Chain A
Amino acid sequence: MRFAAASTALAFSLIAVPALAGDTIKIGYIDPLSGGGASIGEVGLKTYQYLADEINASGGLLGKKVEIVAFDNKTNPQESLIQAQKAADQGIRIITQGNGSSVAAALSDWVTKYNDRNPGKEIIYLNYAAVDPVLTNDKCSFWHFRWDANSDIKMAALTNFIEDRPNIKKIYLINQDYSFGQSVQKQARAMLKEKRPDIEIAGDELHPLLKITDFSPYIAKIKASGADTVITGNWGQDFALLLKAAADAGLQTDWYTYYAGGAGGPTAVKQTGLAHRVFQVTEGVPNSAPEASQKWEADFRAKEGVALFYPRAVNEMHMLAKAVNQAKSDDPKALAAQFEGMTAEGFDGGEITMRKDDHQLFQDMFISSLGPLDPGAKFDEEGTGWGWRKVGVVQANNTILPTTCKMERP
C-alpha cells in the first residue's frame, strides 16, 4: 500500500514538471550520460549547468530563468531522436548536443523535418562539438549552428604545424570508425600529401566507436609499424584508453590529437611520460587565456572539479544570451536570425563570427602541448601536475574554408 502511494506520488511529480514552461527558458542537453561516452557527457552537462547558473545569477534572460534539461542519448543516433522527441513533447525549443557526429547528423535532419511539420513550434539546434564538416556543407540546415571548428579546420591547423617539424617522418593514423573518424582520416591523408609529401603513412586504422576496452593489440601494431608520430581524432574513453595502452607498452611517439584534454586524457598522457609530445588543437588554452577568462576558469574548476574542456560552450551560451536580449524573444526563428552573422568576443580572446552561409563559427585556434607546468602557469589537468602550453596559434581569418552549403531559409 505504501509502495502504491509512493509510486503514485512519484508519477504525479513526473507529470507536474513540464507544466512550468513559460517562465523558464529550457535548453535540452542531449548527450551521453551512460555507456562509453558518459565521462565527457557528464563534463559537458556540468559546464552547461554552470553557465545557466551564471546567467540566472545575473537575472536570467528577459526575466526568465534558464534551465538545462538533460537527456541521455547513449551516443546512439536512434536513441537521440527519441530523446529529442521527448524534449519537444516537454515544450523545449532549444537543444544542444556535441558528442558524436553520427548523432549530430541524425539530429540536424530530425530538427529540419520537425520544423517543416510544426510551423510555429520550431526547434533550434546548437551544436557545440560535433565536427564532421558535412554538417555545415552538403547537409547544412538553417536550424543548426556550430560553435566548434569543424574537423577540416582543425586538421589544417595540425598539418600546418607538422609542416614545420622535419623530424616527423612516419605517421600512423588511428581513428574511430564512423563519419567523424573517417573524415579525420581522409583529411589527414589529403593535407599531409599536399604539405609534406615526404612523410610516409605507416598505418591507417579505424576501430569501433566507444566499444574497445583494451587497445593493446592496436598499440602493438603501431609499435611494429615504426611510426614516430600518431594522429588521432579519438575522444572520450577511446582516447584515454588508447594512451593508457600506449603507456603500458612504453610506446614512444609524438601524438597529434583533437581531444587529448577530455576526461581521463591528461591522466593517461601523464602515464606515458611523453612530456610536451602530446599536442591538441582547441579554441582555447587555459594557461594563456586572457586574465578574465583565467579567473572564470579558476572559479569553474573550484566549483565543478573539472577543467573547462568546452570554452566553445561558454561562447555558445554567451551568444545565446546576446541573441535573446537583442531579439527580445526566445523564439527559435528570431534566435536563428540573430545568430546569422553574429560577432562576439571569444572566451579566449579575439573576435568570433557565426558565418551566415553555413552557420559555422570561426575563431582563433590554438595548438598546445601537455607537460610539466611552466613557471607562472596556473592550471594543471586532473591533478597530474601537467598542464597545457600554447605552442601555436592560427588567427580566425586564416581558418576560413569555403563551404558547399546551399542554405534553405524558411
Chain B
Amino acid sequence: MLQLIAFSTLNGVLYGMLLFMMASGLTLIFSMMGVLNFAHASFYMLGAYFGFEISRRVGFWPGLVLAPLMVGAIGALVERYGLRRLHRRGHVSELLFTFGLAFVVEELVQMVWGKLPVDYRVPPQLDFVAFRLFDTTYPAYRVFMLVIAVGMFAALLALLTRTRVGLIIQAALTHPDMVAMLGHDVPKIFMLVFGAGTALAGLAGVIAGPALVTQPDMASLLGPILFVVIVVGGLGSLTGAFVASLLIGLVQTFAVAMNFSFAEVLGPVAPPFLGDLWKVTIAELAPVVPYILLVLVLIFRPTGLMGRRES
C-alpha cells in the first residue's frame, strides 16, 4: 500500500508538472490577451517533433535548447501576423483562428513526419535507473523531467515577480491601456508573452516526447485536459494553474489506483437510474474524473480555485 501511494504520488506530481508547463503559458496568454489559445497543445507537439528531428541529427541536448526557441519563434510570428490582425474583429475570430490553427498544425505534422509514432529516444546519458524504492525502479529520465519542470516554474515565478519585465507584464495583464499610456509597446509585450508561452509548451514537448509517445494525435489527446487545468485553477492565475495541474495530475493517478466502486462502499443497492454506474470502479472512471471536476468547479466556483474574474 505504501509502495502504491509513493509511486502514485511520484507519477502524479510528474504528470501534474508536465501539465503545468503547458498550462502556465496558456493561462498567461489568456489573461493578457483574453484569448483561449486552442492551438496551445499543438505547440507542445511541435516541440516534441522539433526535439526529435534535432536529436536525430545533432543530439538531444542541442534539441532541448533549440526546439523551444524555434517553437517560440513560430508562436511569436503567429501572434504578429495572425492574431494581431484579427484582434480588431473581436475575440470570436481570434478563437476561431487558433481553433483552425490546431488542425493545420496536426495536418502539417502528418505530412512531414507521417502518421506513425516517431522513434524519439531518451538520451543515453539519462537512460539508467535513478533509484530503487520498495523494489520498484524509477528511471533517471523521469527525475530529469521533474527537475526541468520545477526549474521552469521557479524561473517563471522569479521573472514575473522579481524583474522589471515581469512588472510590466503583470501591469499589462490588468491595465493594458494604462501601460500603453506610460509609453510601453503593449503589442510587442503581447507578442513576447505569446512567444514565451508557446516556447514553454515547446519545452514541455521536447522533454515529454521520449517518455510518452511522439505522434500526430498527442496534441488532441492533451488539449482538453489543459483547458480543465486552467478553468479549475482560475482563468489567468498562474498559481491557480500550478495548483490545478498538480491536483489533476494526482487525482488522475490516484483514481487509477483505486479499485472500489460505489457499490462496495455504499452497499449493493443502487439508487434509481444509477444501476450500471454503481458497479463501475473508480479506476475505470479515472479518465473522466478531471472533467467531472471541471463541471463541479464551473457550477460551484465559476472563477476557479484562484481566479478573480468571471469569464
Say yes or no for A356: interface residue by CB 8 A criterion. no
Q: Across the interface, name the chain A residue whose C-beta is closest to B2.
A: A224
Determine whether the beta carbon of B116 is less than 8 Å from that of A38: yes
- Residues of chain A lying within 8 A (CB to CB) of residue B12: 217
Interface size of B by Cβ–Cβ distance < 8 Å?
36
Known: A33-B115, A220-B11, A220-B136. Contact between A205 and B213, CB under 8 A? no
Q: A216 vs B254: C-alpha distance in the bound complex, in angstroms?
A: 11
Partner of A217, one of B1, B11, B135, B213: B11
Say yes or no for A77: interface residue by CB 8 A criterion. no
CB distance from B34 to the nearest CB of A (A): 32
Partner of B257, one of A36, A38, A42, A217: A217
Known: A34-B110, A218-B256. Contact between A248 and B139, CB under 8 A? yes
- Residues of chain B lying within 8 A (CB to CB) of residue A220: 3-4, 7-8, 11, 136, 257
Name B129-149 residues within 8 Å CB distance of A: 129, 132, 135-139, 142
User: Could you mark each residue 193-226 of chain A with 1 if its beta carbon is under 8 Å from any beta carbon of chain B, else 0?
Assistant: 0000000000101111001011011101101100
Q: Which of A177, A206, A220, A223 has the most CB of B within 10 A?
A: A220
Determine whether the beta carbon of B213 is less than 8 Å from that of A241: yes
- Residues of chain A lying within 8 A (CB to CB) of residue B139: 248
Say yes or no for B151: interface residue by CB 8 A criterion. no
Say yes or no for B253: interface residue by CB 8 A criterion. yes
Name A222-276 residues within 8 Å CB distance of B: 223-224, 237, 241, 248-251, 264
Q: A133 vs B213: C-alpha distance in the bound complex, in angstroms?
A: 32
Contact-size category for A = 20 to 34
- Residues of chain A lying within 8 A (CB to CB) of residue B1: 224
- Residues of chain B lying within 8 A (CB to CB) of residue A251: 136
Segment touching A, from B152-160, B214-222, B227-235: B214-222
Q: Which of A34, A208, A213, A221 has the most CB of B within 10 A?
A: A213
Say yes or no for B53: interface residue by CB 8 A criterion. no
Determine whether the beta carbon of B115 is less than 8 Å from that of A217: no
Q: A350 vs B211: C-alpha distance in the bound complex, in angstroms?
A: 43
Known: A214-B15, A221-B4. Contact between A34 and B212, CB under 8 A? no
Known: A34-B110, A213-B213, A224-B4. Contact between A249 and B257, CB under 8 A? no
Q: A203 vs B252: C-alpha distance in the bound complex, in angstroms?
A: 19
- Residues of chain A lying within 8 A (CB to CB) of residue B252: 217
Say yes or no for A341: interface residue by CB 8 A criterion. no
Top 9 nearest A-B pairs (CB, nearest first) are A250-B137, A224-B4, A220-B7, A213-B212, A217-B256, A34-B115, A217-B253, A216-B11, A248-B139
Q: Known contacts A39-B116, A213-B213; can you find 10 more A-B pairs with CB under 8 A?
A: A34-B110, A42-B115, A42-B116, A177-B284, A213-B218, A214-B211, A220-B7, A223-B3, A237-B213, A264-B117
A-B contact pairs, 16 of them (CB 8 A): A34-B110, A38-B115, A42-B115, A42-B116, A207-B284, A211-B287, A213-B221, A214-B15, A214-B211, A218-B256, A220-B4, A237-B117, A241-B213, A248-B139, A249-B137, A264-B117
Give the B-binding residues of A (Cβ under 8 A): 33-36, 38-39, 42, 177, 203, 205-208, 211, 213-214, 216-218, 220-221, 223-224, 237, 241, 248-251, 264
